[in-house]
Chain A
């Protein structure tokens, strides 16, 4: 009887998860989606607690309390810290899967059948490698670790060897489940592989990497479902896995790169030397001049990038948005899919700053509007605006879809100095004859422009 009740709860839970993701597709229904997800999780946990195998609830209760105490503050972080937080929670999810796999192995070891052992090997491999990889990603995003890619000779060979040996151990375990040493080696190598996989990856590739880790965490949960013969785990894991996969594909496309290139390419190392040589002139403008030009226009398109997040300029950008809107200037925001450090990062930042979400426009939609724009204001974005991606076959970012900022009547770029951006690629946009550079810290410059706008001429 209880068994049927548990299965019923699990079926309900699986349905809730699917509906939750379906309702998340658009803003008006999204909150309902989250609540449905909560209901699904409640059903899953409630059903599991009924299981007759459970003889003691003490440690479960203790663990729930610990989880809540850590989980609540982790949910209260500012939106600038969301990429780090996400990486960290991928680490926790993967750790849970890996530890459950380990416990299952030692509980059932010699008598475990081959199919289960195969799934268990996969669960532990994915779990441990995602755990350390996510911690590394967290370290890089939090800037505890250097964000530049770290490369050494023979890196790819080294990584591949580690992975192959780890898989070899998993195969050994499938053939002889009793070989405990192979299990330890598998776990150890998976942990090592997670670290060595992320070491050569730079900050700008983090959106892809985080999506990929999201996918792995889901797949290890699905593998756990095969070990425990639990369909709910398989379904939830598969949903998570496919979500991560889709996001990684979108991110890769937005950079015109392949998975292998992101994981093994160590972007921004080799190419740095190319453009440095020639000196070209740039035109610069003061915030006051910038304000006057914007005021005179009718459409301003703001192009935010990671630099805006670093400078914490989003609230000042919102002031600018308010002032311009009040003076009858239409303001839109052009969002490149890989702007920021995780998919959708710019959207949550700007939403947090109270900018209405219908002002945030995706790349494909906004690109047609740049020719009509009086001003394109680039704040902390670089490579996603570089026209070289369209025509310069020698450029490392050639072929990457970009925001057609250079087609606006006036382009304003807020930038601290002329130093090239993350990837070390010079941006020819800065030398264009319609481009005005406004030098300074993004937050300070936007604040100065806003102050000018609210001054005498903007008075009412």
Chain B
């Protein structure tokens, strides 16, 4: 029998190695967009926040949950938007130099 913890640890370890392999290949040119994108992805905390905010366990948890949903949606909206904005700025030089 594997417990939830052990399964969780397998997932964590594999995802970390996958993350390292994928992110190592990101060009240093894009390190700033990489950080803003991973920042938006780590707003996945929104999942837990929604469950806490919406399940009406107590006033305390609704208040904390609501703040948490607001904080993570700032990162979702802001993070993806600014990453997209940054990437739109990256342009190649025009073909055939303009001399």
Contacts and interface: CB of A to CB of B under 8 A. Distances in A.
A70 interface: yes
Given A75-B78, A214-B38, A41 B44 contact: yes
A272 interface: no
B67 to A, nearest CB: 6
A357 interface: yes
B84 A34 contact: yes
Interface residues of B, number: 87
Contacts of A64: 69-70, 73
Residue among B27, B40, B45, B64 with the most chain A CB within 10 A? Answer: B45
B34 A243 contact: yes
A96 B43 contact: yes
A451 B92 CA distance: 26
Interface string A223-251: 01111111111111111111111110010
Contacts of B19: 21, 238-243
Chain A contact residues (Cβ within 8 angstroms of B): what range? 35 or more
Interface in B44-80: 44-58, 60-62, 64-80
A246 B20 CA distance: 7
B52 A104 contact: yes
A240 B65 contact: no
A71 B68 contact: no
B8 A22 contact: no
A342 B29 contact: no
Nearest to A241: B16
Contacts of B31: 247, 250, 342-344, 347
A429 interface: no
B22 interface: yes
Interface of B: 3-5, 7-8, 11-12, 15-20, 22-58, 60-62, 64-94, 97-99
A49 B73 CA distance: 14
A53 interface: yes
A72 B7 CA distance: 38
Contacts of B83: 34, 37
A223 to B, nearest CB: 10
11 contacts: A31-B84, A45-B47, A60-B69, A63-B68, A63-B69, A71-B75, A96-B45, A99-B68, A233-B45, A342-B35, A344-B30
A66 interface: yes
A68 B51 contact: no
Nearest to B82: A75
Given A71-B75, A226-B12, A344-B31, 20 more contacts: A25-B27, A30-B30, A34-B87, A35-B84, A41-B46, A48-B46, A48-B50, A53-B54, A55-B55, A64-B70, A70-B74, A96-B67, A103-B57, A228-B51, A229-B4, A231-B8, A232-B44, A242-B16, A247-B31, A358-B92
Given A53-B55, A71-B76, A82-B32, A99 B84 contact: no
B82 A85 contact: yes
A326 B75 contact: no
Interface string A315-351: 0000000000110100000010100001111011001
Nearest to A244: B38
A165 B82 CA distance: 39
Contacts of B42: 93, 214, 217-218, 221, 236-237, 240
A284 interface: no
B30 A44 contact: no
B68 to A, nearest CB: 4
A222 interface: yes
B30 A63 contact: no
A357 B51 contact: no
Contacts of A37: 37, 40-41, 80, 83
Given A27-B87, A67-B73, A238-B15, A243 B35 contact: yes
Contacts of A56: 54, 56
A96 B29 contact: no
A107 B61 contact: yes
Nearest to B43: A93
Contacts of B90: 27, 30, 351, 357
Contact of B64 (A74, A99, A239): A99
Contacts of A245: 20
Contact of A356 (B7, B56, B91): B91
A102 interface: yes
A222 B55 CA distance: 22
Contacts of A157: none
Nearest to A42: B76
Given A53-B51, A325-B97, A325-B98, A234 B11 contact: yes
Residue among B44, B45, B87 with the most chain A CB within 10 A? Answer: B44
A68 B44 CA distance: 16
Given A238-B16, A325-B99, A344 B32 contact: yes
A1 interface: no
B35 A247 contact: yes
A75 B75 CA distance: 9
